[in-house]
Amino acid sequence: MARRPEGGEGGGAGWPSWAVTAATVLLCLHIAAVVSGALGVPPSSELERRVADLFTWHHGLLDQGYAYRYYAEPPPTPVVLAALHRADGSPDVEIRIPERAVPGPPMRRQRQLALANALFASERARAGHRHEGEEEGEGSAGESWLARSYASYLCRTHPGTSGVTLYLQQHLIPDPRQVLEKTRATGLRFDLFDESLLTTPRWIGDFPCDGL
């Protein structure tokens, strides 16, 4: 069934030596760049980071340098909640990213999950900078431009909105013991959207539409 590609099956022509040498140099560079890119992200050593920095040009040009550290520890899932304040004083419109049910293929919802993750990561970075004592302000590392940009988009696509307040929430993974206890107590299947699994929404910021 599966074999390594076999050589010489039909006597394909070999390459001239100069081409082999050139390709070898490029291959070595590329392999070094891919490996160093994956090793250079935290946690990593000073040496690994320095080597990775040598290949920034490669990672930028060829879209390489990924860490591939998928699901090292299954984390809680970030959720973004947006409250759209209406200019006419009517009740706020609530928007959730990811939406509970996104019409269309599942990949569409997966993209929304990625957006919530990105907002979560940018907020975490912002909190980190705050902790280090940096000042907040437009354009500084202290502000999540992604949150501002997302709020601005919501303002534009929802006419009549005077401002947007964004919150972050975490959707926790249930503890198996908690699941067993609840299932035995109620006799019903455990609800993965049970209130106990959703953390209290944490405020990100208020974004008036006329200021965006």
Partner 1 sequence: MRRLVSEAAGYFADLVSAIRRGWTNFFFRPADPTPLGLIRIAVGLLGFWSLFILGLDLHAYLGPRGWADAERTYQGLQPFAWSFWFFVPESMLRLVWLVCLGVFGLLAAGLFSRTASILAWIVIVSTVRRVPMALFGFDQILSTLALYLSVSGASGQAVSLDRFFRRWRQSRAAAALPARPGLVGRLVSPTEPGRPAPSVAANLGLRLIQLHLAFIYGMAGLAKLQGPSWWTGTAIWGTMTAGEFVAINFTSLADWPIVLNVLTHASLALEIAFPVLIWFGLTRPLMILGAIGLHLGIAVVCPGLTEFGLAMIAANVAFMSGPWLRSLVAGREDDQPALRVLFDGACPRCRASMALVTAADPDRVIEPIDLTAVDVKTIDPRLTREACMESMHVVSPSGRIAVGFDAVTAIGRRLPLFWVPAFLGGLPGIASLGRLGYNRIAATRPRDVPCTDDVCGIHPPAQATGGRARDLTRQR
Residue list 136-195, contact with partner 1 (CB under 8 A): 145-146, 149-150, 152-153, 156-157, 171, 173-174, 176-177, 179-180, 183, 189-190, 192-193
Cis peptide before 43 (omega within 30 of 0): yes
| 2 HSE (CA, 13 A, CB side) | 0
Two tokens, residue 202: 């944490």
Query: Looking at beta carbons only, is 149 or 162 nearer to partner 1?
Result: 149
* SS3 state of residue 122: helix
For position 54 contacting partner 1 by CB under 8 A, the verdict is no
Query: Looking at beta carbons only, is 6 or 88 nearer to partner 1?
Result: 6
Element holding 109 (H helix, E strand): helix 106-131
Q: Find the binder of partner 1 among 49, 83, 95, 109 (CB under 8 A).
A: 109
Query: Looking at beta carbons only, is 85 or 144 nearer to partner 1?
Result: 144
Per CB under 8 A, which of residues 17..46 are in contact with partner 1? Answer: 20, 23-24, 27, 30-31, 34-35, 38, 43
Cβ atoms of residues 169 and 201 within 8 Å: yes
Q: Find the binder of partner 1 among 18, 42, 46, 72 (CB under 8 A).
A: 72
For position 118 contacting partner 1 by CB under 8 A, the verdict is yes
Q: What is the distance of C-alpha 50 from the center of its chain?
A: 25
For position 93 contacting partner 1 by CB under 8 A, the verdict is no
* Edge-to-edge strand ranges of the sheet holding 202-208: 93-97, 77-86, 161-171, 202-208
